Every structure is written in structure tokens, then in C-alpha cells.
Structure 1
Amino acid sequence: MLTPDSLFAVLDTLVGTRHLRPLDRALARFLAGHVPDTPPAVLLAAVLASHQLGRGHPALDLAAVHADPAATLGWADDGDTPDLTALPVFAGPLSGWLAQLESAACIDRPPADSGAPLVLAGHNLYLRRYWQCEETVAEAIRTRLPQRLAVPDDLSVRLDRLLADMRDADEAARRQTHWQSVAVALAARLGFCIISGGPGTGKTTTVVRLLGLLQGLALDTGRTPLAIRLAAPTGKAAARLQDSIRQAVARLDPAVRGHVPAEVSTLHRLLGPLPDSRHFRHHAGQPLPLDVLVIDEASMIDLEMMAAVLSALPAHARLILLGDKDQLASVEAGAVLGSLCAGSRVDAQDPAQWAGSHEMAAWLGAASGYAVKADGLPAGALTDHVVVLKKSHRFGDDSGIGELARAVNEGDASRAAAVWPRHADSIARLEPASRCIEQLALQGRSSSSPAGWQAASYRAYLEIMAAGDQGDPDGWARQVLEAFNRFRVLCALRQGEEGVSGVNAAVEASLRTAGLLPAGRSEWYAGRPVMVLKNDYGLGLMNGDTGIALPMPDATLRVCFALPDGRVRQVLPSRLTDVESAFAMTVHKSQGSEFSHTVLLLPQHDSPILTRELVYTGITRARDRLTLVGSADIFRRAVSRRTVRHSGLAQRLG
């Protein structure tokens, strides 16, 4: 029989072996202290729900954890993990555990209005706040799904005029479907739309043309121009989008160009954070003053932030999400974009295939002038609101990086393995070896790189720095930053020799030994690259921004950051408190970036963190050259493992 004492003994052991966090155990102690006589089986369920939340899952899948605790909880089968199946909860039937949860005073059932700290919905157990967030997101999306907006009878003519320069010969002749045209037509028709696509598929250009269309329609009919806002989850993503948006807006018709904004804000700044609070200035009672909201890099948005955004969105406003559904999910709990795109598969064999209903496909065909073949899903379903852009202009059909990314994305490790030797001029997989990363950082290749391999490294930016400012400090700083951003080491892990911390230290030491960095152990030195870890609105620096410490003509050290408008911001090192060295960064942090030569480092030991999405995201950060450092076995395991964030969002939206 499981008693409170025996349960806490098990929890103490799991915390000691780092299978659980002290925070998870603290929740059980809190419930035991505030809700007397709570059964141990209920306390255990609460602990596991907290543990899963820490791993990014908004809900605990009770059926899955009952059937296979270790696999569901992400515990490696290393012989040191306590066997939970020996506990009575797992020895008995799932129905018995569910019965105890259903009758527990600390657990609520939908509509969950009692205020209990946990909510049980079917086989999903939530901490209340995340159940509420999921409910908010689901309800806001459900409300927008039936919305159909008026479009002009000459929409296809307008699309031809607006998008002609984006079409190749086959698309112009209607021999192939131009998915950007389909996406603009769909987004013009609906109050909610998702435009997904990999790197170089034209998401930003497509949405700018869409905004030009919408503003043109408003002006043609004598209406007030639409209030449009553009946003992204992080400062770094916002800056990159702003740069792309400005270039795309400049190509619009002058009549609408002035009505399409080029400024992009972070979601936090858009909502208006209140000091010392989790809450925002804009919410359901004080919605955002806008008609159209476009959010880029939507895969990075966690469940709680998406709930805050949708709560603050006016009922009449259009919502357009841009992102790559196959990238890594958010760092925090939830995989909102992945859940919303769950039914939107892409058929590589049929370029006209679309995962939607026959009714919407027929309308899209008439409106865009392009063949759209439907999967025949129910009309009005979520899939009717998703368009996947299929053609990458960065990675052509003959691109080694593109072919590798496609194989990884489809989970075909064997096909991926066959890509490497065919494209040895642009992609290389190296077995882990002593000083391999240091050699790559120093000269762009290691002793085991393919013959003739030429690729960017950190040497270039340090040589430009050593040449001095030549009387133009800002121009010099831009050159240094541009050269630095041609190369980057991406890690799956944060800690350890194969993580960001270990690689940063190793690369720094190697560059010092080579005489490219100054000798000594000072924290701040000329050439130190740093990444900002927290938004600093006072300095105008955002989480993820990267700068380099450079010696200025007045003999002071300044950290230089490139701004989206081309200017350089110089900051004294003493003003930067939340930064870390940036010779290496996590794959998560790299989202939204691209580098001429990307090194993706996989650890030598398997881990649940190594997934298809992580490898795909790392690969697609490379523009010209990719070096993957990792064993064939670890690569195969990672490609075969999917990121699964358990929630009820997709089921709620049907």
C-alpha cells in the first residue's frame, strides 16, 4: 500500500537523482499540507503533471504514463531510474487511478469553476493555469474559424498584378501551383490564417503582399486604412522580421506603401507588460487597437503567451501566424503552432495537394486561378486555415542542405545518410574527435573535413577587428559583426563539455592560443562576442541580440550591436549585466537566424532532447555550408525521435 511517507521517500530519491525537480516535490508537500487526506496516488499525479510541465507539456497524459512511466516522463533507461511500475498506482488498472483523481478535492473537472489547483479533462491532468490558457486559446480560435470576410470579384486579377514578379515560368503559365498566391487568397478570405513554410519559402514577402492587398481594398472602397501591427516572440526575431519587412514594403505600389507598417515589436512590448506583474496593459477588457495582427516565428510562442495575445485581440481583428511548423517548439510549455498545424501534411509527390476541404479548395482554385487538390477533410475544420509554402528559394532541388533537411523532416534517417557523400562540397558529417570544434572555429575545417572543404570560421571577424577602424568606427563594427555572423556553433545542450558553456570555453581558449584573442583571463576583452539574455528596453536590446566587444579610438572597450536600420549601437560592458559569451549557442536560441557556415554539435550520448525537430532546425540555420559533428548512430536516433508536447489543444479544435 502506498502511504504518504513511502511516497515522499520515493520522491526524495527521484529528486536526489535529478529525475524530478525540488519544485515538483514541493507541489506534493503543498497539497498534502493544504488539502488534508489527499490520497498519495493523487499527490503522485500532481507531481508528475508538474514534472511534465517543466518538460514543456501543458498536460500529463495519464494513460501514457500509466502504460510506460519512464518513456512518457523522458527518463533514460540507464539502470539508475527507480521503477515506478512497482507502485500500486501502476500495478492496478488505470480506471482505479482515474477514480481517485475524479473524487479528489484538489482536482476540478471542466468547466473547472471551483478554483481547485488541478484540472482533470479526460485522461489529461493540468495545473489550473495551463488548463485556463489552453481553454482561452481554443475558444479564441474556435470563434474565428467560421469567419468569412468579403473579397472582391476581381481577386484573381488583383493577385496576378500583386504577385506576378514572385512567379516562375511554370507558375506564371499555371502549370504549377503558386502557393504564395493561394496563401494570400486564403488569408484575405479568413479571419484566422496560418502561413507555414521552411527557410526561403517567401513567408515575409507573401504577408507583405497580403497587407498591400488588404490596404488597397480598404482604400478602393473609401474605408479608413486598416490598423496593422507586426510582432514576433523575441527581440531578435522582431529585428530580423523588421529588416525583411522594410525591403518587401519598398517593392509595394506607392499608393499603399505608406499604409503598411515596417516596424515590428516583440509580443511583450505589443501587449504592454505591467511592472512586477505577470499581467499586461492589453487584455480582454482593454483590447489592442488594431484590425490586423501578423505574428512571425509563431513556432516559438508558448501556450501562456498565445493565450495573452488572443485575450487582447479584438473580436473583429484578423490574425495571421507565420512560421515553420516543423521547427522546434517553444522553450516554455506548449507547442501551439504544431498543434494548430497537426493535420496539415504535405505530399511531396503531388505539388498541388492541400490538406483541406473540397469546398475551400474549389473556392481557392477560383479565387487564385491555381489548381488546389483537397484531402477532403470536413469543411470549416482547422486545416482549411493553413497553407504550407512548399518551394524554398534558399535551398533548391539540387541543394545538399535542402535535401538533407527534407529527409530529416520526413524522419528518413537512411535517406539522410545517403545525402552526405553526394554533396560533400556543402555538407559534412564528422565523427566527434578531440579539438574538432576548436579546429572548425579557427579555420572552418577540421583534420577530418572533406578534401577541398572551404568554409567560414571565426578567424575572419578577428582579422577584421585586428585591422582597426580605419577612421570609421561604425562601418568597421558592421564589418566585424557581419563576418562574425558567417559562422556559428550550435549545441543541443546548454551545460557540459558538449554544451554551450563547454564549447564557449574551449573555443575562447583555442582562439587565445592562436593569438587571435588577447591573452589573460579578463571577463571582457576585445573580440568577445556576447548574447543578451533578457530584454533591456532602456538600452534598446532584446533577448537574443548578439554584439561584440571592440576597442574604440578613445581606448575604451565598447560592445557593438547592429540595429535593423543599419546603425550600430555602442554600449559600455558595465551596462550589460545579463549576457553570456556567444561563440556557441543553443539550437533553440538560433531560431530565426542563418549563418553561412553552421556547425551543429550533437552529444556523444543519446538524450530525449535530441529530436528530429532539433536536427531540422539546426540544419536549416545553414545558408552555404553545414558541418554536423556527431556519430551516425546518434544522428539516426535523433532523426527517428519526434518532439511531442502533450496537450488537448488539437483535440479541442477537432
Structure 2
Amino acid sequence: MHRVSRRLFQGDGVIELLEELHEQDLIADIDWHFARLIARFDGHERPEVALAAALASVQTRRGHVCLDLEACAGGPLAALLEDPLVDRPISPFTLPDLDSWRNSLLASPVVAGPGCEADAPLVLDDAGRLYLSRYRDAETRVATRLAQMAQARDTTPVVDDTLDRLFDAKDVDQRRAVEAVLHRRLCVITGGPGTGKTFVAARTIALLLDTGLAKPDRIALAAPTGKAAQRLQASVSAQTEGLAKTIPALRDYRADASTVHRLLFRARNGSLPVDAVILDEASMVDLPLMSRLVGMLPDDARLVVLGDANQLASVQPGAVLGDLCAAAATPGSPLGGCVQALTMSRRFDRESGIGRLADAIIGGDGTRALAALADERDAQTELLPLADARAFERLATRHAVESWAPGIRDPRESPFPNCRILCAHRHGPFGTHRFNRLVENELRQRGVVGREEFYPGRPIIVTRNDPATRLSNGDTGVVVNEGGAGRRVWFPELDASDGERFEVSPSRLPEHDSFFALTVHRAQGSEYEEVAFIPGPTDSRVVTRELFYTAVTRARAKVVVYGGEDDVTGAVARSTERVGGLTSRLAP
């Protein structure tokens, strides 16, 4: 590896280096092949260009929109590629200095520089951000369209009579948010769990219909996942049915939520047939998906964005919700006044243990977070040690015996335990895969469950949308024994309002896993009575402030964190940073 580093700018040294990184799984297949393609198109004249292409591709796989040359030029390659979960050496190579790297990129035919309209696979802007062209195009579209929508004003007069029927005196923030929707084509409504975001969504629909600003069949409800769409539809349906008694315009309205992807299929000639789109769980919406959505909105349509900007960002590139909130807070931004914040949680009191812990995490205050966990006067929060992988195994064994064994023989009575285990990682010694395997093995060794694949009581989580069965990624069910009908998988949350159970034959299940434990990403948007959070390795970059906050705020009544004080303070200090230019484009 050191030999390759010294030969870097001699002939194909970069390609040799990248090949070794690929063989070590430090860069993925797509990064490696993209770099080779760029090198070929560049005529193998500028090795720095192939290197930049590979690193830009790596960055997008890690959720970034681009490679920030100013931040990494002249620094160690290892800083971009290291993974605390993988203990292996990385080349000590130092990246090119900023000026020479930028000059090489601008001289290449595969790079479009600032102000250049050429069609090139890479784009370098004047701030030193290097994009794959598709992400630059997506960022440009989102910034341009949202700025236009934010600056559009509607002169519809305030309808105090309708607002008085929709809100009580205590609903000050919610009323202000809905009133903002009346006058703006773009409205971003942020708030933590239980602050009333879907409460606002239902009343936004009521106001749009009552004022004639939208027709019932032209209000689209959307969310990034099928599970989130189901929750949105159920909540809005229940609320609008009740509101129809005082808002006659709601009597013909039927809530129908879908995933954003499915909504986009409704477009005709590139335009959605909508007067308004209400987008929930927006923190999970990535930049390319938002680009497609705003690109299909009619010029006179409204977009209402709901989400918690403090939660985990999307898995794919971008942190759109966070970027919009940051831009709106900047003086002179076209988004000024478009963001409405909801602050009063009805899920847990702000002064409760969970509330104080969540506030400390958001504020980046590790000392306050530890104090909230250590407060013996409050039974809502607790910090318990988890020293190593053996302790993790003992925890899984105890969870199998105490939480699952008592109810697994009769899952219809209590399909899932009150306490949900949430892990920061999927793989590794502290990941969900290992936890699930340990619990299942313990239950089998004790004779609680059988050896068959679909034993009664097995918890199932769907991992792929499947229109044929109407199951969505994230739906959770449990295997039940139907006697003569054999085994079925029952999904309690999908039961009909008349009590009819939603059951599917195991043979018809789409891709799925057991879920004695879930990753925090999987749990995003859900809520549980109790949560036990396992952060794993102290120095893991996966365990961020946003992930910790998301895990903690899934709980209604109790949170237990399994780890040490360093795990807590490290997570609180480690904020997610998504590299991109959306905020700066919207905050000149």
C-alpha cells in the first residue's frame, strides 16, 4: 500500500491505489468502476480526476450530495474512508492540495466548471463542491422551485370563523401553522413527536376545502414509506371524520395517503393532478426524491412539508428538511417565514425524564443528557452498562426469557412486548442481526418455539413494498396458528375498522425478517411504550446526535440506554453533517 502511494502520480498509480481500496472493500464496486470510466473518458491524463470521481461516489453512498474539496484537499485519504467498525489499515496517502486538484478538474473534459452548461458526468461549483451531475441537477431543481414557491403569496383573506371552529384557544402554534398554509404555496411545519403535525395536516385539509382553495380529490397525502403513509392516512381519516360535523366541506373527503413514489405515478404529462400535497415524515425524504416531487407540482399547487428536523436524515443523499430549516433561519432567505415550529409535545412532558433527555441531546449537551439518565427521582430514563459483546449476548438471553417467552405461545393476546429493543447497527457484535439470532436460539433451546421457519409467535417485519398483498416496507406482524387453516401472519396494525383481521399466508410474504430487535432507522416514525437503546461501539460514526434523539423519542413512558457515559457524550457530540449546497443556495 505504501508503494502505491509513492507512485500515485506516475502513470496509473491512482488506478492501482483505487483497485487495492476496492479489494479491501474500502470503496464499493460502483465507486471503482465509475473511477475507471472517468479515467478512460479523461484520457488517463489527470489521475486526480479519477480519484475525485471515486471519492464523490463514496460520498453519495454515505448520504452526502457532493465531495467538498475545500474540506478534504491536502488531508489524509483515511479521513474519508475510515470506518470505526472495521479495523484495517488504510493508505497513508495525502490528498492533492486544493489549487492543483481544482485546476486538474477544470482542465478535464469530464468536469463542468462554474457557469458551464456542458453536459458532463461531474460538476464543480465555485465553492469547491464536486457533484455527480444528477445530484447537482436535483439540488438545482429543488432550490429553484422551492424559492419560487416560497416567494409566491396568496391573497386569500383570513377566515377566522373557520379557524375558530378548528382550534381551541390552547392550539396557538397549530393555528398559526395552518394560517400560514392559507397565504403561502410552501409551508414547512416542524416539531418533535406528539407536537401535532398530523393534527395540523387534518385541519389544513379542512381549511383548504372550506375556502375552496382545493378540491377533495386534488389533495394528495404522501410519505416516504408505506408504513408512514398508512399512519398518516389513519390519523387524518380519524380527525377529518370528527371535524366533518363542524366543517361541511369535509363530508365528501376521504383520506388516501400513498408513498411519494406511488404518488409520482399519477403524473400526467409530467404534472401531478393536485391542488396541494401534504408530505409527512419529510426528514426521511432524500434530495433526488424531493427533486422529482417538486418538478411535477403544478405552478399553482401548495406544498406542505411536515417533519422533525432533529431526527435522522434520509438514507439516500441529502438532508432536505434540515437544509430548508437552516436556510429559513438565515436573514434574506426566500424561505423566511415559511417554517412554522410546533413545540408542545403531547407524547411526553418536556420536563419529564424523556423530555429533558431529548432536549439535552438536541442541544448537544452531554452533561445534561447524563444528568437526565442518572436522575433517580425520574423512572422514565436509565443508563445501564453494556461492557462488551458477551454482555450483549446476556442481554439478548434475558430479553428472550423475560420479554418474549411469556407471550409467544399465545401471540393473539399480546403479539409484541411493551419494550422494543433498538440498535444503532444492523451488523456486527452489537447489531440487530446478532440480537435476533441470539433471541431465537435461546427460545428454541428452551423449547419455547419449534425448529420450523414460521413458528407461532415469530415476529415478522416486511422489508419490501408489495402491492399484491398490500404490505409495505416496515409493516410488522406475528405468525399465528389457525388450526385447520395452518399458519398465517397477522398484521395487527392493518386490521379493518370493523375488527376483521389482516392476515397473509407465509408463502405470500414479500421479503421479510424476524424483529426481536430493530435498527433505529427501521423504528423511525413509530412509537412504543418502552425503548431500550443499544448504541454499540463508542467511536462509531453511525451513532450520532440525530440517531440518539430518534431512538429516545420513540418511547412514550421509559427509555433505557445500554452503554457507558462515553457512549452518551460521544453520541451527543457527534452531529450528522450532510455535505451539500442546498442551504447556501436558499440562503444567499
Task: Give the TM-score, by structure 1 length.
Answer: 0.82
Map 1:192-271; keep pairs closer than 5 Å.
192-218=186-212, 227-254=218-245, 255-271=248-264
Paired position in structure 2 for 1:135:
140
CA distance in 2, matches of 1:512, 1:196: 45
CA distance in 2, matches of 1:644, 1:225: 40
Q: Distance in 1 between matches of 2:216 and 2:535?
A: 50
Shift of 1:528: 1.3
> Aligned AA for 1:202?
G
Find 2:72's aligned residue among 65, 74, 88: 65
Of 491, 510, 523, the match for 2:453: 523
SS in 2 for 1:218: coil
Match of 2:289 in 1: 305
Spell out, residue by residue over 1:231-275, the C-alpha distance to the aligned partner (whole angstroms, 9 max, x if none).
111011011111211221122143022244422111111112xxx
- The residue that corresponds to 1:421 in the other structure is 374
Classify 1:306/1:200 alpha carbon distance in 2 versus 1 (closer, same or farther; 3 Å): same
Give 1:449's aligned residue: none
Q: CA deviation at 1:436?
A: 4.3
What amino acid does structure 2 have at the position aligned with 1:315? D
2:3 is aligned with 1:19: no
1:600 aligns with 2:558: no
Task: Confirm whether residue 31 of structure 1 aligns to residue 35 of structure 2.
Answer: no
Measure the CA separation in 2 of the matches of 1:180 and 1:30: 52
**2:302 pairs with one of 286, 309, 318:** 318
**2: CA distance, partners of 1:156 / 1:391:** 23
**What CA deviation, in whole Å up to 9, does each residue of 1:545-582 have, x standing for no partner?**
11111111215111112316444322121222411111
Shift of 1:62: 0.5
Aligned to 1:391: 344
Name which of 278, 282, 299 aligns with 2:267. 282
Deviations, residues 7-53 of structure 1 (Å, cap 9, x unaligned) = 12221232233322232111111122233134001111111100101
- Asked if residue 146 in structure 1 is aligned to residue 137 in structure 2, the reply is no
Partners of 1:594 and 1:40 in 2: how far apart?
50
The CA deviation string for residues 465-504 of structure 1, in whole angstroms up to 9 with x for no partner, is 2xxxxxxxxxx4xx444xx163321111111231111011
Query: 2:542 is matched with which residue?
Result: 609
The answer as to whether partners of 2:397 and 2:438 remain within 8 angstroms in 1 is: no
Aligned to 1:587: 520
Secondary structure of 2:490 counterpart = strand
Give the counterpart letter for 1:425 in structure 2.
A
Cα distance change of structure 1 residues 74 and 258 upon mapping to structure 2, 3 Å threshold: farther
8 Å CA contact 2:68, 2:129 repeated in 1:
yes
2:166 is matched with which residue: 158, 162, 167?
162
Q: Secondary structure at the match of 2:154?
A: coil
In structure 2, the CA distance between the partners of 1:554 and 1:192, relative to structure 1 (3 Å rule), is same
User: Aligned residue for 2:93?
Assistant: 84
Distance 2:201 2:38 in 1: 48
Mapped contact 2:370–2:568 kept (Cα < 8 A): no
2:399 equivalent in structure 1: 441
Q: Is the 8 A contact 1:57 1:646 kept in 2?
A: yes
Q: Does 1:431 align with 2:385?
A: yes
Q: Does 1:511 align with 2:443?
A: yes
Give the equivalent residue in structure 2 for 1:473.
none
Contact 2:209 2:215 in 1 (8 A): no
Aligned counterparts, 1:407-556, within 5 A: 407-422=360-375, 423-432=377-386, 433-439=391-397, 441-442=399-400, 457-459=403-405, 461-465=407-411, 476=412, 479-481=413-415, 484=416, 486-518=418-450, 520=451, 522-556=452-486
Cα–Cα, structure 1 residues 159 and 428, in superposed 2: closer, same or farther, change >3 Å? same
One-letter amino acid of the counterpart of residue 106, structure 1: V
Q: How far apart, CA to CA, are the structure 2 residues paired with 1:202 and 1:485?
A: 27
CA distance, structure 1, for counterparts of residue 209 and residue 406 of structure 2: 45
Q: For 1:56 and 1:524, locate their aligned partners in 2 and report how far apart those are by CA, in whole Å.
A: 36
**Residues 184-214 of structure 1, C-alpha deviations (whole Å, 9 max, x = no match):** 1112110000000000001101121122112
Equivalent position of 2:4 in the other structure = none
Instruction: State whether residues 228 and 260 of structure 1, in contact with CA within 8 Å, keep that contact through their aligned partners in structure 2.
Output: no
Q: What letter is aligned with 1:215?
A: L
CA distance in 2, matches of 1:420, 1:414: 10
Contact kept? 1:395, 1:401, Cα under 8 Å: yes
The offset of 1:112, in angstroms, is: 5.2
Cα contact 1:229–1:261 (8 A) shared by 2:
no
Q: How does 1:311-390 map to 2 (within 5 A)?
A: 311-343=295-327, 355=329, 377-378=331-332, 381-390=334-343
Paired residue total: 567
SS of residue matched to 1:541: coil
Aligned-partner Cα distance in 2 for 1:439–1:594: 24
Distance 2:405 2:380 in 1: 20
Counterpart CA distance in 2 for 1:224 and 1:590 is 34
Match of 1:401 in 2: 354
Q: Which residue of 2 aligns with 1:8?
A: 15
1:590 Cα shift?
Answer: 0.8
- For the 8 Å contact 2:538–2:570, the answer to whether it is kept is no
Partner of 1:179: 173
Residue 394 to residue 150, structure 1, CA distance change in 2 (3 Å): same
**Quick check: 1:97 aligned with 2:101?**
yes
Inter-partner Cα distance in structure 1 for 2:325 and 2:447: 50
Out of 34-43 and 128-137, give the one that drifted further: 34-43
Pairwise CA distance, 1:539: 0.8
Q: Structure 1 residues 505-514 or 242-251, which shifts more?
A: 505-514
Secondary structure in structure 2 of the residue aligned to 1:212: helix
Deviation at 1:438, TM superposition (A): 2.0
Could you tell me how far apart the structure 2 residues matched to 1:411 and 1:239 are?
A: 33
Identity %: 38
Say if 1:627 and 1:510 are closer, same or farther in 2 by CA, change over 3 A: farther
Q: Offset at 1:76?
A: 4.6
Instruction: State the alpha-carbon separation in 1 of the partners of residues 368 and 18 from structure 2.
Output: 43
Under a length normalisation based on structure 2, what TM-score does the superposition of the two structures give? 0.91
Residues in 2 aligned to 1:240 and 1:564: alpha-carbon distance in whole angstroms: 13
Structure 1 portions without partners, runs of 5+: 172-177, 273-280, 345-354, 357-376, 445-456, 466-475
The structural deviation recorded for 1:129 is: 1.0
User: How far off its partner does 1:295 sit?
Assistant: 0.6
Q: Deviations over 1:618-651 (max 9, x none)?
A: 1111111111112211221111011111111111
8 Å CA contact 1:242–1:564 kept in 2: the answer is no
2:167 alignment partner, SS class: helix
Structure 2 partner of 1:369: none
SS at match of 1:100: helix
Query: Cα offset for 1:601?
Result: 0.8
CA distance in 2, matches of 1:41, 1:213: 56
Deviations 1:57-93 (A, max 9, x none): 11100111115445752525767222231x5x2xxx4
Q: Which whole-Å CA distance do the structure 1 matches of 2:242 and 2:406 have between them?
A: 34
Q: Which amino acid aligns with 2:133?
A: R
> Aligned pair in 2 of structure 1 residues 104, 160: CA closer, same or farther (>3 Å)?
same
